[in-house]
Amino acid sequence: MTVTVAFTTPEGPLVATVDRVLAAGYTGRTRHLVEAHIEELKALGIGVPPHIPMLFPIIPGLLSQSTVTQVLGLDTSPEVEFVVFRQGGRDYVTVGSDQTDSVMEAQNAAIAKNLCLKSIATEAWPLDALVDHWDRLELTLTCEGVVMQHGALEQMMTPAQLQEFVAGHDGPQHEGRMIFSGTMEMHGRCPRASVEMVITLHDPVLERSIVHRYRVEPMLEIFPPKG
């Protein structure tokens, strides 16, 4: 499946052709950060992954730049991530959210990752303009104005490390492939209701940010299972 995604960039409009989407996980740059994320997920009933770092294939049609994301049920969770893709031989980065079904994740993470839309911003930056200060970039997720995730990218694998890892397991062709980076520590859980998410990639050196706002709207089953 191939989809096209439009972005604004500092150099003008960009239309990316995407035929492969991967969500990485457990991508902390140190073992301590990875172990902390594993323990965080264990508390939610999610077991240790079969491989660290981990990769999950995502249906490209789940990419969304909408300001509204509908989900089934009340048990989904956002994860702010940087998103890397290559178009026309050049790498770009934007911000995204790996919204995931938390109940299914405890049973089958790969399926859980494909039960929700993957929100991405409408703006992207060329990666080559960020390499010399990449570690100083920051990711933030707020839920109804409350900061749930925040941290510098020095905590996570760099885009080059991420692409090298992906190439070793999904082939060397980065053109047309979009990679969600994995996430950082979550502080609390979002309310089980309709809520506004704001995901941000901030560059304190060039004093600019990519911001995407979207509302998560849960749909409830009409005839829920009994018992």
Mean pLDDT value of segment 154-171: 96
Tell me: domain 3-219, CATH 3.40.50.300, correct? no
Beta strands in 45-87 (DSSP E): 54-58, 63-64, 68-72, 76-77, 80-87
| 33 pLDDT more than 70 | no
Q: What pLDDT shows up at residue 48?
A: 73
How does residue 47 score in pLDDT terms, banded at 50, 70 and 90? low
Q: For 117-142, write each residue's pLDDT tens digit.
A: 999 999 999 999 999 999 999 999 99
Spatial separation of the C-alpha atoms in residues 144 and 156, rounded to whole Å? 26
Mean pLDDT of the chain: 92
Structural domain boundaries in the chain: 3-219
Q: What pLDDT shows up at residue 128?
A: 97
Outline where the chain has alpha helix (H). 31-42, 102-105, 109-113, 159-170
Q: For 52-90, write each residue's pLDDT tens digit.
A: 899 999 999 999 999 999 999 999 999 999 999 999 999
Q: What pLDDT shows up at residue 192?
A: 84
